[in-house]
Amino acid sequence: MRDSENIVAVDKLGVDWMGFIFYPKSSRYVDTVPNKMPINAKRVGVFVNEEITVVKQISSKFSLDIIQLHGNESPSFCSELSIGGFTVMKAFSVDDVFPSSLVKSYQHTCKYFLFDTKTESFGGSGKKFDWGILSDYDGETPFLLSGGLSIEDANELLNINHPKLIGLDVNSKFEVSPALKDISKIEHFIKQIKQNE
């Protein structure tokens, strides 16, 4: 996100985390600190194959709570940030086969994982993968589910009973335009999820 008023409006809805994209090739790229930042939601910075010194500098500049690595960052890269006191979340691309061995190599290097739909390039596709294969994940690291989630998915999402699923990453299906969220859609989705928990 990057629009100050939109940030404030979403923050008031009670979301837990809010993302800021620091990947220059993304249509949601943010290069300056918005005039208003979330007060309640934790700030998540999304990076793709960035230099570790740059990640640290931006984390400080934007007062980030969580660093989300969405590229080909190695387990040692994640470990270096974690050991340095940063909270790290590593994103993994998922298609019709769960990448068990790859994910396992990152155990103990990150606090969270994020499972997203595999695409040809970095970033979201607005498409879903088969959530049934999440049953193949038997690790200890908590994860968020991403990849084309929409209002229409609320009931099906509530039926996912994986013990390590802690959150849902909503993005393109809840936007008016890149980086500008549809407040009414997010509010409706949150109500659907919370009243059926």
**Domain ranges across the chain:** 4-195
Distance between first and last Cα of the chain? 27
Q: Which token pair is 75? A: 């387990």
Taking only the tens of pLDDT, the chain with its 197 residues reads 999 999 999 999 999 999 999 999 999 999 999 999 999 999 999 999 999 999 999 999 999 999 999 999 999 999 999 999 999 999 999 999 999 999 999 999 999 999 999 876 655 556 799 999 999 999 999 999 999 999 999 999 999 999 999 999 999 999 999 999 999 999 999 999 988 66
Spatial contact of 139 and 170, defined as CB atoms under 8 Å apart: no
Give me the helices (H) in the chain, please. 4-11, 52-61, 75-83, 100-104, 154-158, 183-195
**Domain 4-195 annotated CATH 3.20.20.70:** yes
Radius of gyration over every alpha carbon of the chain, rounded to an integer in angstroms: 16
